[in-house]
Structure 1
Amino acid sequence: MPSPAGAAASRAAVGHRAEVAPPPVRPPSGALYRRGAPLPPEVRPAGTGPGRPGGPGHRAGGRVVVVGAGNVGTIIGMRLADADVFDEVVLVDVDEGRAAGIALDLTHTAALSGFATRVRGAGTVEAAGAADYVVITAGKARQPGMSRSDLISSNAAIVGDVAARVADTSPRAVVVVVTNPLDEMTQHAWRASGFPPERVLGMAGVLDTARFRALASLGGTTRADRIEGWALGSHGEEMVIPLSQASADGRPLGPEVDAVVDRARGSGAEVVGLLRTGSAFLAPGTSAARMVLAMAADSGEVMPAAVLADGSYGIRDVYVGLPVRLGRGGVREIVELDLRPDELAALRAAADRIRERVGALAVPG
C-alpha cells in the first residue's frame, strides 16, 4: 500500500487538461488515513463542507439540457432552476407536451423561489439547442422485482441514440448519465458520443453516498451532513463503502454500520418496493443537479462518480465509481484514497464485474 503522503497524491484522469492546476489533495497530517479521522474540506464527499456550488454570488450562465422529463428529470430541472446560476434549463422528452407543461409549472415558481433562470420544454435534443451540460435520465425505470441489469438492453438503445444526438448538437458539452444500469450506460454513452472520457461521467456515487450517510444518521448518532463516507465501485450489488474512510463527527461509526452498508446497497430496490410503481427520484435528481452545480462553479470539489478508470487503484479502461475532482469541463482528475487491502480488492472486483457486463452488452445497430 502507498504511504500516507504518496496516497494523498492524485493521478490525472484520462484527457486531463494541462492548463488546469488543481489544488493538491494534501491532508494537514497523517491523521487523514486513520480510521475515523476527519477529512479536510477539499477531499470531503459532496455536501460535507460549508457552502454550495452555485450559491449566492456565483452565476455560471449557459444552458443545461435534461433529457427525460420524468420524475428524476423534473427534480433535476427544479434544483437547477432554484440554484439560479444558469441562463436556461431545457427539459427534453418524446412527450413534448409533458416537457413543456413541467417547464411552465417550474417557471410559475420563479417568484416563490427567487430565480431568473428560464425553463422551457422541447421534444428533441436538437430543439433544445447547444448546451454546456447535458443530463441523460431517459430510459425505462425499475419496477418491483427488477434489477438494474434487467434494463440494460432496452435502455442501451435509448442512451446510445441520445448520446449521439448530443454529440452532434452540443460537441463541447459535459454529459452526466443517470439512466440505469448506471455504470454500463455511462460507458455506452461515452462510446456513442465519441467525447473524451473526462466529459462523460455517471451519477451514482453521490446518490449512494447520500443514502449511506442518511441511513447512518437514523441511529441518532449525529446529523446526516456530519457523517462522512464514500460509495465507490458499482451502482448495485458490488457497491463498495470503505469503512476506513467513514466517520461521524470525526469518530468511527458504531457496530451497526455493517447493517447500514447493506441497507444502502439495497436502498434503490427498497424505495421501488415501497412505491409499488416507479422508482426513486428525489435523491437521484438532487444528486445529479449537485454534480452539475459543482462543475458549473468550477469548484474543484471531490465527489464519487462513475468515470473511466485510468490505472488509479489498479483499474483501467472501464467505467467504475471512484472519487474525482470536478471542474467546469468535467473530471479534472481521479483522487486516490488510502484504502485497506480488502477494500481495494472489493473495488477491483466491482470493476471486473462491470467490465464483464459491458462486454456482454449487445450494442443496438
Structure 2
Amino acid sequence: MKRIEDLLKESGITGGIPLDYCPVKLKEKNKVNLLALGDVGTTVLIGLRLLGADVISTIGICDIDESNMVRCEQEINQINYPFETQELPEVKMVGEEDLFDCDVLVFCASKAVPPLGSAGDVRMAQLSANGEIIARYGRLARERDFKGLVAVVSDPVDPLCRAFLNSAKLRPSQVQGYGLGVMNARALYFAGKDRRFSHYAAEGRAFGPHGEDLVIADSLTAYDDQLSRELTALTVDANMRVRELGFKPYIAPALSSAAISILLTLRGEWHYSSLYLGNEDKGAFLGMKNRMRGSGPEYEDVPLCEELYGRIKDAYENLCEIK
C-alpha cells in the first residue's frame, strides 16, 4: 500500500523540502494579525476572538476601508462575557507597515468574489486577481524577514499558498492553506443525513484542495470507491446549494476551515489544512490531516489502498500543474 510520502517520487519530484520549522508559539499566546474584513475575514475574526483566548494575545486587523476597520475594532471588542469571567483577545487596528509584526498572519484578502449565479468551480475564477494580491504581500513578508505563520484563507486556497511561497521565499512550513476543514465538516453533515455514509465520522478522511479535485474517503480501513465519490460530489457541490438559495457560502468556511483550524494549529492538535509537498522547482500545497509540532508540521501518513491513493495522486499532480 502507498502513503502520502510516496507522492513526490511517483510524481517525478526529488529532494523534497523538509517541513522542519515551527513558526508559531505552540500552546502559548500568539500575536495574530488579520488582513481584510469582508464577510469571510469578519467571521474569522469573530471566531478567533470567541474561541482563541488560550493561544491568542491580541488580534490586529487591517483593511483598506478605514471605517470598516474602526467599526470592527468597536463591535468585536464589545463581544464579551459578563462579569469578566473570561478575558478575550483584544482587537487592535494595525497599518500595512505593521502587518507582519506578529506570530500569525491570517490572509483573507480577495479582489474577485464571483457573484451569485456563477456556474462551475467559482474558486478557480479568483486565482488570477487574488494571485496578484497575495504575491505583493509575499514580497512584503520577504522584506520584513517574517518568521511566523501565514494562514491563507482566500480562494483558491492551495494555489494562492504556492503564489505566496514563490514571492516570499519563506520556509514552506511557514505557509499553510485553510480550506479543507469545511470540506470535512460538509462531509460530516451529509454523513449525518444518510446512514450509508455514517461511518465517515470515525473512519473517513478528507484530502486535496478546497475545490473540484477534493478527495473524500468514506473509510481508510474499508474504502468504498463508489460511496466515497458520491460523498465527495455532495461535499463539493454544497457551496452551490447555498448560492442557489441566494446567499454567499462563507460562514462555514470562515469558521470550520479558518478560525477553528488555525486555533487547533496553535494548540498542536490534529486538524485539516494544506502543507507544501515538493522541492524548489515543483510541488503543491495538498490538504490533509496534520498537526504542528515543535519540530514543524507533521501529517498523518497512513497506508492507502490503490484506488484512494490514485485519487490523491491525481489531485496532487493537478495542483502541481497550476501556475
TM-score range, shorter chain: 0.7 to 0.9
Cα RMSD for the two superposed structures: 3.4
Shift of 1:94: 0.8
Shift of 1:222: 9.8
- Residue 275 of structure 1 aligns to a residue whose secondary structure is coil
TM-score by length of 1: 0.72
Residue 308, structure 1, aligned to residue 276, structure 2: yes
Decide whether the 8 Å contact of 1:233 with 1:322 is kept in 2.
yes
C-alpha distance in 1 between matches for 2:185 and 2:53: 23
Decide whether the 8 Å contact of 2:31 with 2:58 is kept in 1.
yes
Shift of 1:270: 2.5
Correspondence for 2:32: 64
Shift of 1:201: 0.9
C-alpha distance in 1 between matches for 2:305 and 2:231: 19
The change in CA–CA distance for 1:216 and 1:89 in structure 2 (over 3 A counts) is same
Decide whether the 8 Å contact of 1:216 with 1:257 is kept in 2.
no
- Residue 275 of structure 2 aligns to a residue whose secondary structure is strand
Residue 115, structure 1, aligned to residue 118, structure 2: no
C-alpha distance in 1 between matches for 2:227 and 2:60: 43
C-alpha distance in 2 between matches for 1:68 and 1:271: 23
C-alpha distance in 1 between matches for 2:113 and 2:214: 20
Correspondence for 1:213: 188
C-alpha distance in 1 between matches for 2:158 and 2:277: 12
Given residue 309 of structure 1, which amino acid in structure 2 is its aligned partner?
L
Identity fraction in percent? 18
- Residue 337 of structure 1 aligns to a residue whose secondary structure is coil
C-alpha distance in 1 between matches for 2:30 and 2:155: 27
Extract structure 1 runs of 4+ deviating beyond 6 A. Answer: 220-225
Decide whether the 8 Å contact of 2:179 with 2:210 is kept in 1.
yes
Residue 90, structure 1, aligned to residue 60, structure 2: yes
Residue 145, structure 1, aligned to residue 118, structure 2: yes
C-alpha distance in 2 between matches for 1:284 and 1:228: 25
The change in CA–CA distance for 1:19 and 1:131 in structure 2 (over 3 A counts) is closer
Correspondence for 1:14: 17
Partner of residue 197 from structure 1, selected from 172, 177, 196: 172
C-alpha distance in 2 between matches for 1:296 and 1:321: 17
The change in CA–CA distance for 1:17 and 1:93 in structure 2 (over 3 A counts) is same
Q: Deviations over 1:195-247 (max 9, x none)?
A: 10011010122221111112211236899995553221222111111223289
Correspondence for 2:283: 317
- Note the 1:285-364 alignment, pairs <5 A: 285-297=255-267, 299=268, 301-310=269-278, 317-327=283-293, 331-358=296-323
Given residue 67 of structure 1, which amino acid in structure 2 is its aligned partner?
L
Correspondence for 1:24: none
Given residue 88 of structure 1, which amino acid in structure 2 is its aligned partner?
T
C-alpha distance in 2 between matches for 1:92 and 1:117: 16
Given residue 102 of structure 1, which amino acid in structure 2 is its aligned partner?
C
Partner of residue 154 from structure 1, selected from 129, 151, 154: 129
Given residue 113 of structure 2, which amino acid in structure 1 is its aligned partner?
A
Shift of 1:2: 5.3
- Note the 1:18-97 alignment, pairs <5 A: 60-82=28-50, 83-85=52-54, 86-97=56-67
The change in CA–CA distance for 1:17 and 1:238 in structure 2 (over 3 A counts) is closer
Equivalent residue pairs, number: 302
Given residue 244 of structure 1, which amino acid in structure 2 is its aligned partner?
S
Shift of 1:152: 1.2
The change in CA–CA distance for 1:302 and 1:237 in structure 2 (over 3 A counts) is same
The change in CA–CA distance for 1:283 and 1:196 in structure 2 (over 3 A counts) is same
C-alpha distance in 1 between matches for 2:18 and 2:304: 25
Correspondence for 1:362: none
- Note the 1:253-268 alignment, pairs <5 A: 258-268=229-239
TM-score by length of 2: 0.81
Shift of 1:256: 6.4
The change in CA–CA distance for 1:91 and 1:246 in structure 2 (over 3 A counts) is farther
Decide whether the 8 Å contact of 1:79 with 1:286 is kept in 2.
no
Partner of residue 125 from structure 1, selected from 80, 96, 105: 96
Correspondence for 1:29: none
C-alpha distance in 1 between matches for 2:21 and 2:46: 34
Shift of 1:328: 6.2
Q: Which runs of 5+ in 1 are unaligned?
A: 7-12, 21-53, 359-365
Correspondence for 1:178: 153
Q: Deviations over 1:250-272 (max 9, x none)?
A: xx99x866533211012223223
Correspondence for 2:246: 275
The change in CA–CA distance for 1:215 and 1:125 in structure 2 (over 3 A counts) is farther
Decide whether the 8 Å contact of 1:295 with 1:328 is kept in 2.
no
Given residue 117 of structure 1, which amino acid in structure 2 is its aligned partner?
P
Decide whether the 8 Å contact of 1:100 with 1:120 is kept in 2.
no
